[in-house]
Amino acid sequence: MSAKYPFAKSLVFDEPTIQRRIVELSGDIHRHYSGLVTETSPLVLVVVLNGAFMFAADLARALADRKLPVRMDFICVSSYQGGTHTTGEVRMLLDLRRGIQGQHVLMIEDIVDSAHTLDFLLKLFMTRSPASLKMASLLDKKAARRIPLRVDFVCFDCPPEFVIGYGLDFAERFRELRDIVVLKPEYYMKAPAAKL
Ligand code: PRP
Ligand code: 7HP
């Protein structure tokens, strides 16, 4: 671990574990939506950028293997702004390309932590009258909740530590890792973000 990831305190989920679990979760999602969506009215996968890009890419391909009709759209929101704690203020940087009225929508997140972001997105999308609205998240850090929301489809419960990799960043670094690891606290306590 230390040779591969000198900035990591511990390994949380390795690549094979993540990939296996995504295939399993795609089965749950397929079972839930298979009677509801069709080629002419596909499931709308809303990828919440930036963090969810890698999870969404693997989940979408797992759903394609199961032949579930989907279309993908993207929204970009930000609230951590380079730190390890939410600012509590969610800023929208990019909105969906198309409307979602009357359509089944599944939001895809990398992590639900305080749930400020999920709360913001639920409120925003409910004003647009989807047929249904659910959330899939790679990680669920339940111990950190400030707003009591539950996630519909979860890959893994997350320990109450700051994790990076597989889409998750600290100050825009480490998203490219294949595995999910805990960042050594000295990296965010001492190192200026620009020097990481
Ligand atoms: C991260 C993550 C989630 C959110 C979860 O986004 O991708 O969207 O925080 O935290 P919360 O439950 O406390 O709101 P961030 O604002 O860091 O932007 P990013 O996706 O670009 O990393
Ligand atoms: C957001 C976030 N980003 C990276 N790692 C974590 O543990 C996080 N929690 N919330």
Ligand 1, atom 3, lies closest to the CA of 111
Q: Is 179 a catalytic residue?
A: no
Contact, 144 vs 159, CB < 8 A? no
Average pLDDT of the segment spanning 54-62 = 98
The reported pLDDT for the residue numbered 156 is 98
Q: Would the pLDDT of 177 be above 90?
A: yes
Which is the catalytic residue, given 14, 28, 58, 113? 113
**What percentage of the chain has pLDDT greater than the value 90?**
88
User: Is residue 116 in contact with ligand 1, taking CB distance under 6 Å?
Assistant: yes
Over the stretch 106-132, which tens digit does the pLDDT of each residue have? 999 999 999 999 999 999 999 999 999
* Ligand nearest, relative to CA of residue 54: 1
Q: How far is the CA of 104 from the centre of ligand 2 (A)?
A: 27
CATH of span 16-31+41-158 = 3.40.50.2020
- In this structure, the strands spanning 104-112 and 132-140 are parallel
Give the tens place of pLDDT for each residue, 25-47. Answer: 999 999 999 999 999 999 999 99
pLDDT higher than threshold 70 for residue 1 = no
81 by Cβ neighbours in 10 Å (0-12 / 13-18 / 19+) ranks as: exposed
Residue boundaries of the structural domains of the chain: 16-31+41-158
> Alpha carbon of 8 to those of 22, 36, 148, 150: distances in Å?
23, 43, 30, 29
Each residue of 65-80: pLDDT tens digit? Answer: 999 999 999 999 999 8
Does residue 68 line the site of ligand 1, with CB under 6 A?
no
pLDDT class of 195 with cuts at 50, 70, 90: low
Q: Is the CB–ligand 1 distance for residue 140 below 6 Å?
A: no
What are the CB-based long-range contacts (under 8 Å, 24+) for 2-8?
A: 5/177, 5/179, 5/181, 7/174, 7/183, 7/184, 7/187, 7/196, 8/164, 8/181, 8/182, 8/183, 8/184
Closest ligand to Cα 158: 2
User: What pTM, to 2 d.p., does this model score?
Assistant: 0.95
